[in-house]
Amino acid sequence: MNLSMGPGKKEKKNIHLDYDTVIIGAGVAGLYQLYRLRELGLKVRTFEAGSGVGGTWYWNRYPGARFDSESWTYGYSFSQELMDEWDWKENFSAQPENERYLNFVADKFNLRENIQFNATVVSTQYHDDRRYWEIILENGDCYTSRFLITAIGILSAPTMPNISGVSDFKGVSFHTYYWPKEEIDFEGKRVGVIGTGATAVQLIQEVAKTAGHLTVFQRTPNWCAPLHNRPITAEEQKEIKTSYEEIFAKCRASYAGFMHDSDRRRALQVSDEERQAFYEKLYREPGFGIWMGNFRDMLVDERANTTISEFVAGKIRERVKDPAIAAKLVPTNHGFGTRRVPMETHYYEVYNQDNVQLVDLRETPISRITEAGIETSDEMHEFDMIVYATGFDAVTGGYSQIDIRGSGGRTLTDKWADGVRTFLGLQIEGFPNMFTLVGPHNAASFCNIPRCIEQNVDWMADLMTRVKVDGLNRIESTAEAEEEWTGHVHLMAQRMLFSKTNSWFTGINSNIEGRDQRSVLLYAGGAPGYRDKCDEVAAADYAGMILH
Ligand code: NA7
């Protein structure tokens, strides 16, 4: 097939390629990137492992899965028509509706015609001589493309616990990411859930409603905060529809793309009464306000952070009747907001129910999984169903699942062996013509994700316009630019308390060998600063990148 790019001033011979650009993934990022590139008249193909669109919202079908972002800040902002036509039903919309939305988008813009479903990319290799990527699917099919854009998400490589006997269990079991499409009934069942991260917290509240008996296996308690979800009224719907411009402007100006942005005061600058009153207000309000809209030093100063941790600990003790159980649920090894804050509705009250038991794995660790259930150091727990809410090989895991080989055949695994290095979290030196939407070191990895995705995608679309106009065929960042950006990312992370805490934010995963040392994966400098930097690079004719 012919390369449909521009005249290719620097192109010596007419190379036949299958595509101008291949996108991996048809989630929130991949869908919008496909839309933008197709608009430019490029020949684009998207390979998607699932049988439908949606990415995160396609895979995570477990009961309770929903946005922690206000729904009306999560949708795409690029099409007025889309915003006019779509009605969010709840302030924090649930997975079935979110998947329906992304399907609506795919249909509205006829995106499916460029997407190949059930198409898992297993390897990609850059060919220096011909300046293209070869993309190989699980079924052996092979395609060539000038550019390769990954839209594989930061939480797309689920990890099972490294506990012996996982495959011995005779009952029903799933990782939350691979929740089946058919409805699962917990009525009267004995259910065990391993994990108490954001996923587990959403799920546990649902399972506890009907399960005969639910046992939660907790290794590390997290600081959870009330979501305060409710339906959107007709009146509010009208208001939302007329306010999109202001909503998105507010998100754009905020640190992490939310409606919530930090309070300009410092925690210890105000009186105790004023501080308590502020925390009470935040605790009563919906969404991430208590995390993202708190005192400005909350996430960087330990003394400030202690004040909110003590406040939330008090709430946990108030809500959980048995003081011994409450004590197990209060985190002791990290401060509030230094790990991802799970959002909840009656989560703590679940532990007041007769059908729910909390097992503290710090006291009685799991020894193995058997045919019948989970054995801890002091008890055998028998189950009909075990749910693994054990998290992900976060941020870089999606890349490790694909054998990615850049210039000279160097693997990405080898390139990142001593730590992740990127330019803008969008490009990697030695991997020409490959771009990583929401990649490591990209502000989108710590953001109300669609807001930052749109920035990533628009920036890519501008670059691709340039490619088309000038007939470019090789783009790569320089080692110096990569080093400078990586240094900046590390500096930004250092000041944050989360960088001193073990969690997926810092690449810790007890289920993967060798992943017990913290690393810098996220960009903590804030979305506005990140956007400015990307804009500066583009305005300076893509300074830091070599364009051929
Ligand atoms: P998380 O936040 O990584 O949580 C995983 C949970 O599973 C966490 O409580 C872990 O305990 C626990 N876990 C993992 N492995 C084990 C083993 N082997 N034994 C016992 N317990 C284990 O993943 P989530 O899916 O909840 O959330 C990921 C993101 O998705 C979330 O932040 C949102 O942005 C959406 P640990 O804390 O490691 O002691």
Which residue has the CA at smallest separation from atom 37 of ligand 1? 220
Are 5 and 468 in contact by the 8 Å Cβ rule? The answer is yes
Q: Say yes or no to pLDDT of 3 above 80.
A: no
Cα 121 off chain centre by: 20
Query: Ligand 1 in contact with 220 (CB < 6 A)?
Result: yes
CA-based end-to-end distance of the chain: 22
Q: Say yes or no to pLDDT of 317 above 70.
A: yes
Are 475 and 548 in contact by the 8 Å Cβ rule? The answer is yes
Which residue has the CA at smallest separation from atom 29 of ligand 1? 198
Nearest to 207 by CA among 226, 227, 184: 184
Cβ partners under 8 Å of residue 160, min gap 6: 166, 175, 388, 390, 511
Are 333 and 216 in contact by the 8 Å Cβ rule? The answer is no
Q: Say yes or no to pLDDT of 11 above 70.
A: no
CA of 197 to the centre of ligand 1 (A): 5
Q: CA 21, CA 36: separation in Å to the nearest integer?
A: 12
Average pLDDT over residues 109-137: 98
Query: Ligand 1 in contact with 216 (CB < 6 A)?
Result: no
Query: Ligand 1 in contact with 340 (CB < 6 A)?
Result: yes
Q: CA 417, CA 458: separation in Å to the nearest integer?
A: 31
Q: CA 308, CA 334: separation in Å to the nearest integer?
A: 12
Which residue has the CA at smallest separation from atom 2 of ligand 1? 197
CA of 396 to the centre of ligand 1 (A): 16
pLDDT tens readout for residues 515-534: 999 999 999 999 999 999 99
Cβ partners under 8 Å of residue 92, min gap 6: 66, 67, 68, 69, 70, 71, 227, 229, 286, 287, 343
Q: Say yes or no to pLDDT of 2 above 60.
A: no
Burial of 500 (0-12, 13-18, 19+ CB in 10 A): middle
Q: Say yes or no to pLDDT of 8 above 60.
A: no
Res. 327 pLDDT band, cuts 50 70 90 = very high
Residue 99 neighbours by CB distance under 10 Å: 21
Please report the pLDDT score of residue 372 as a whole number: 98
Q: Say yes or no to pLDDT of 10 above 80.
A: no
Please report the pLDDT score of residue 14 as a whole number: 60
Looking from the CA of residue 340, the nearest atom of ligand 1 is 32
Tokens of 131: 């300046």
pLDDT tens readout for residues 399-438: 999 999 999 999 999 999 999 999 999 999 999 999 999 9
Are 422 and 441 in contact by the 8 Å Cβ rule? The answer is yes
Q: Say yes or no to pLDDT of 6 above 70.
A: no
- Report the chain's mean pLDDT, rounded to a whole number: 96
Are 456 and 427 in contact by the 8 Å Cβ rule? The answer is no
Query: Ligand 1 in contact with 219 (CB < 6 A)?
Result: yes
Please report the pLDDT score of residue 224 as a whole number: 98
Q: CA 35, CA 458: separation in Å to the nearest integer?
A: 11
Q: CA 398, CA 418: separation in Å to the nearest integer?
A: 18
